[in-house]
Structure formats: structure tokens, C-alpha cells
Amino acid sequence: MTQIVEAKWVIVIRTAYAFTSEPRHCNWESFEVKLILTYILILWSTMASAQDHRNPVVQSIVDWHRQYCYDNLTDLRDESRVPLESDFGIDEGSIYDIEIAENQTATVVYKSFTCEGEGHGWCGSGGCGYFIVVGEKIFERQLGYEPKVVNVPVYQGSIPAIVVPMHGTSCEGAGGESMAGADTCFAMATWNEYWGTFQSIVPLLTEVRIEDGEWTAVVAENIP
């Protein structure tokens, strides 16, 4: 981690040098240079904040993908190469809270992670997929765009429901037509407080957890 932090400052300094033709003769007290350095530091802190989260479960998801980027993606396999913090990122707005029931919120982690040399390696024509964190539980949808919440009518009122964007290959036309990945359709899931899980006509979200560095599906216990 120390090497990564040190590398961060190397990038900041090199970027500042790029704005000056003669760095050794640059007036570091000038307004222009101070403005440039301030702008760089603001951008850097913004990028870092997108990767840091107060919820340790959410943070564990980000950390796993960061480590995967460092360890496994193509141009990072040179063992002599020290990973830079800038090698990994996540788009702003990809982590957000939603209300899934009365007095119950969840956090969405949309998989818009970036890795040096791979771009958005977890994304495709049908979206990036996402995780939904409820308390200490993690639910995953491997493909699809960002989920949103709408209120749906029920007996004597309404409840929040998650609109689940479906990858086009999961969709079908009224005449049985097969769809392309980008031909998104939608399904809904609601939170079942008693079982502590999402319910829908067919399973839309899979409960998962990290075991020994790998993602594993959680099998429900005590099903009647």
C-alpha cells in the first residue's frame, strides 16, 4: 500500500511537470501553477473517494475487484510491476443507496470498475451487472444496467419494488423472438423482510459471499 501511495504522488508531480515546458525554472509560487496543482489534487481526491465507502461490506466488494485488477488482468501480470492506485477506478455515481422497504435501505454497487489496459472489463452491451448490499448480505445480478426503485400498488397501499434491467438475451418477444444483449427488458423484485431476501416470479438476484478470495453462491437453509 505504501508503494501505491508513493506512486500516486509521482503521478501528481509528473502531471504538474506536463504543464510546464521548463519544470526546473517554473515559478511554483505563481497563481497558474498553484491553480493547476489544486485542480489535480481535487481530481485525485474525488477518484479516491469513489473507491472508499463507510460500509465495510460495500468496501469489501470494491477491494475484491481492485485486487482482481492488480492480480489478474492482462497487462498487470508482470510481477515486477508495482500496481498504481490509478490502475483501478470506478465511475462516479456507481455506488448509491435505495429504499427497498419501510425503514430498510440497501446500497447498490454497479460494476463500472475500470482497470488499466482493460477499460470497463466487467461491462458489455447489456450493462455491467451489480451488487445490492442489505445489511451484511450481498445479492448479485451478473448482467444488466443500474437498478432503480418504484412504488407499486398492493392491497391498501404501495411498496417499493426494484426494477431489474435484464440483459437482452434474457428477454423474449411476444412471438418468441430472441433479443440482442442491448435490447433491455425489465422485471421486478421486492424485499421479503421475513426471509431476508428478494422475491420475484423467477430468481433475479443471487445471494453471494466472498470465501477464500472467491465469490460463492449462498444456499438458503431451512426452506419449508
Dihedral, CA of residue 35, residue 39, residue 44 and residue 50, to nearest 10: 150
124-129 LR contacts (CB < 8 Å, sep 24+): 124/181, 125/168, 125/180, 125/181, 125/182, 126/167, 126/168, 126/169, 126/181, 126/182, 126/184, 127/165, 127/167, 127/184
Q: Can you give the pLDDT at residue 158? A: 93
DSSP conformation class of 200 = -
Helix (H, G, I), strand (E, B) or coil at 115: strand
Q: Does the pLDDT at position 101 exceed 90?
A: yes
Angle at 149 between CA 101 and CA 218, to 5 degrees: 65
- Pairwise pLDDT comparison (165 vs 2), residue with the higher score: 165
pLDDT at 34 over 80: no
| pLDDT above 50: residue 5 | no
Range with top average pLDDT, 8-12, 13-17, 20-24, 96-100: 96-100
Q: What is the DSSP string of 14-67?
A: HHHHHT-S-GGG--TTSHHHHHHHHHHHHHHHHHHHTT--SSHHHHHHHHHHHH
Rounded CA gap, 67 and 9, in Å? 21
For 35-84, what is each residue's pLDDT tens digit? 665 655 554 444 444 556 678 999 999 999 888 887 765 555 566 666 66
Lowest mean pLDDT, pick from 106-120, 152-166, 183-197: 106-120
Q: Is the pLDDT of residue 6 over 50?
A: no
Q: Across the strands, what pairs with 95?
A: 109
The pLDDT of residue 161 is above 70: yes
